[in-house]
Amino acid sequence: MDQPRRTSGPAGRTGQTGQTGPGAGSAPWSPHRTDLEILALLAEGHTVESIGRRLGVSDRTVRRRLRSIADDIGVDSTIEAVVHAVRGQWI
């Protein structure tokens, strides 16, 4: 049986507890403007490196933000996060 997980998103926001999957009964995700910008740039085909240069942050920071975004919305990969964002018309 899976253990409940507690995630922490950008700026220390607390994510879902014990719930998995998109919208698994928790409050809707409230993305930061930078989160949406990262997802949009990724959807346009930019690499993590080019996103980092554009935003003035390290590649590692971009990767961490992407992982946090995926965790916050309850998906397993950054590609799923982009698809989720496009389908939800966030980007």
**Domain assignment present for 6:** no
**Domain assignment present for 14:** no
Supply the mean pLDDT for the chain: 77
Rounded to an integer, what is the distance from CA 11 to the centroid of its chain? 13
**Domain assignment present for 48:** yes
Tell me the per-residue pLDDT of 23-48, one tens digit each, with 9 for 90 and over: 444 556 678 899 999 999 999 999 99
Residues 69, 78: Cα–Cα separation, whole Å: 8
Instruction: Mark the ranges of the chain whose per-residue pLDDT is less than 50.
Output: 1-25
**Domain assignment present for 84:** yes
User: Three-state SS across the chain?
Assistant: CCCCCEEECHHHCEEEECCCCCCCCCCCCCCCHHHHHHHHHHHCCCCHHHHHHHHCCCHHHHHHHHHHHHHHHCCCCHHHHHHHHHHCCCC
**Domain assignment present for 3:** no
Q: What is the pTM of this model?
A: 0.66
Say how many domains are in the chain.
Answer: 1
The total of other beta-carbon atoms located within 10 Å of residue 64's CB is 13
**Domain assignment present for 69:** yes
**Domain assignment present for 5:** no
Residues 11, 41: Cα–Cα separation, whole Å: 20
CATH number for 76: 1.10.10.10
Structural domain including 53 reads 30-91
**Domain assignment present for 80:** yes
